[in-house]
Amino acid sequence: MNDEQVVEADLTWLEGSFRPNIQSVTGADGRISEVGPLGRTTMNRLADRAILPGLVNVHSHAFQRGLRGLGERFPEGAGSFWTWREAMYRLVESLSAETLYDLSRQAFREMLRCGITCVGEFHYVHHDHSGEGFALDEIILNAARDAGIRMVLLQTYYQIGGIGRPLEGGQRRFRCDSPRKFWRQFDRLAGQPGNPRISFGAAVHSVRAATIADLVSIHAESVRRGLVFHIHVEEQRREIDDCTAAYGLAPMALLNQRLEVDERLTAVHCTHTTPEDLRAFVQSGGSICLCPTTEGNLGDGIPDIAAIRSAAGVICLGTDSNVRLCPTEDMRWLEYVQRLRSESRGVLTDDEGRVASNLFRMATESGARSLGLNCGSIAAGNLADFVTLDLKAPPLAGWSPETLLDGWVFGTGEDVVDGVCVGGTWHRFR
Ligand SMILES: [Zn+2]
């Protein structure tokens, strides 16, 4: 994409509502240079289409796409996160560079197909069967590049196999020996010739996978570098029990006490985090990433969203295990679980009582904040990342500009997605 593009759809999602007669101009740098009723000659007129900002998937492990359809039978009775993790480790042990590439590219293509234009890839499977060399880091970069998705590679530190335990089995493919070696590999990856769609952030897998000293060290260096930093927190009660037994504090309390929490820090899941710890974290600027489909599939539990909202905390969304890739499903299930629990309707409302636009904001603007990117809304200066909907698709029949977003979020999936644009490059599906 070398030239300026002027795009106009029948409707454009702008500042919280659908508006007609809006043109957006994308420059050669892949960013929006102008948007509004510009009166420009339209080169790309998208008839019977609505255009919205592309969805931001904050948390993915692309390789886990290989588990889809597996682990859903329970001949020995109920399973758990921990029995699922054994299946995931078996997949890890079987991965070659080729299968990792194929699974990851497949996952990234499916994300684009359902309207996700940007993914935060929480990447911890670093090594091939030799258990060293970080050869698989390049594979993920290649898969994202070839699929055409925007990616923030969240390069992930993983050093121990549980609090006070060595790595074992498939975990050896995650190994990072020390923060020094971690940053050396990070610099090697980030120093390669630039791809405008790929950027980098740092992660520590969890308090289960690093000593507190290494966690503090890597987070401090990521702050110094101005990077976003992500970590899994309190998805399972066992993690809280083990952490409290070892350090006298639950994981989130430990983060609040030991890290300089700010808007670049995202905690993923927080399923069992106390209201006090949640409020302290989000009041310092941290984001909470929830992954409703995966959390439901794994039987994790229900996070205390009321506590996050009471402190005006930022919630964003991730697809995590990629057992199903459908952002509208994640959006509505975030709301539905709270409805089921509260026996009421309209839980995650905004100031005007709207649910879908609030969920959509979590899946776009809040995700962009978590990943440190200028995207998630159609505005001058932002990345030209869009999703378009087919207004003639039967599942949307009966729409009006006032009901279209609600109908999309609550009633449809990837079946109405017409195409996506990533930094000015279009992918069409219909
Ligand atoms: Zn995860």
Annotated catalytic residue within 230, 269, 272, 300: 269
Average pLDDT value for the chain: 96
Which DSSP helix (H) or strand (E) runs through 276? helix 275-283
pLDDT of residue 3: 81
Name the percent of the chain lying above pLDDT 70. Answer: 100
Q: Work out the average pLDDT over 290-313.
A: 96
Q: What is the pLDDT of residues 266-283, one digit of tens each?
A: 999 999 999 999 999 999
Question: pLDDT per residue over 122-131, tens digit each?
Answer: 999 999 999 9
- Cα distances (angstroms) measured from residue 126 to each of 123, 130, 400: 7, 11, 48
Q: How far is the CA of 235 from the centre of ligand 1 (A)?
A: 9
| Predicted confidence (pLDDT) at residue 226 exceeds the cutoff of 50 | yes
User: Residue 284's pLDDT band (boundaries 50, 70, 90)?
Assistant: very high
Residue 152 Cα to ligand 1 middle (Å): 15
Three-class SS of residue 60?
strand
Average pLDDT on 47-64 reads: 98
Give me ligand 1 centre to Cα 294, in Å: 9
CA–CA distance, 348 with 356 (Å, rounded to integer)? 9
pLDDT of residue 53 exceeding 80, the answer is: yes
Can you tell me whether residue 416 is helix, strand or coil? helix
Q: Reply yes or no on whether 320 is catalytic.
A: yes
Q: Output the pLDDT for position 75.
A: 84
- Region class of 151: left (phi > 0), else alpha (psi between -120 and 50), else beta: beta
pLDDT of 2 higher than 80: no
Task: Indicate which residue of 137, 320, 385, 418 is catalytic.
Answer: 320
For residue 77, the one-letter residue type is: G
**pLDDT > 90? residue 22:** yes
Distance between Cα 114 and ligand 1 center (Å): 20
Q: Could you confirm whether 129 is annotated as catalytic?
A: no
pLDDT at 87: 87
Residue positions counted in the chain: 430
Q: How far apart, in whole angstroms, are the C-alpha atoms of residue 127 and residue 229?
A: 22
Share of the chain residues as helix, strand and coil, in percent rounded to the nearest 5? 40, 25, 40
The token duo for 150 is 């925007």
pLDDT of residue 125: 97
Residue 143 has pLDDT above 70, yes or no: yes
Task: Write down the pTM of the prediction.
Answer: 0.97
**Dist. CA 122 → ligand 1 center (Å):** 7
